[in-house]
Structure 1
Amino acid sequence: MAGLSRTTLWRLESKGEFPRRVSLGGNSVGWKLSEIKQWIDERLEKIYCVYILVYIFKLETQKT
């Protein structure tokens, strides 16, 4: 769902920037779907904010 490599997931988890994995037994792990959805929503919100700021900057620079 997130499309990230194992290494990237591990790095983000260790920095507290991705939900923690949950042991499913044996060598299997998973993540809580609600936490993954929240993480995706937060990332999209940040991306949208950047796009809006860039758009406003372009509008402001066109005025001068």
Structure 2
Amino acid sequence: MNGSNFIREGLLVQHLPVYETDIPYIHSILSIIQQTQGSLEAFPNLNEEIPILIVDKALLR
């Protein structure tokens, strides 16, 4: 089953209307979520790291 059919069937199962123009956007969002989950699995404690912040002294004046 390709991505478009999977999305269409998922919407129909949940009794949601299927707009063909929305399917590419939904596919894009699902792809982004999948990529993000992969990053989270690779670096599970990333949110616990304190980010390094460098401030230009000229901006403080």
Indicate the TM-score class for this superposition, using the shorter chain for normalisation. 0.3 to 0.5
- Normalising by structure 2, we get a TM-score of 0.42
Structure with higher strand content: 1
Q: Relative contact order: is structure 1 or structure 2 higher (C-alpha 8 Å, sep ≥ 6)?
A: 2
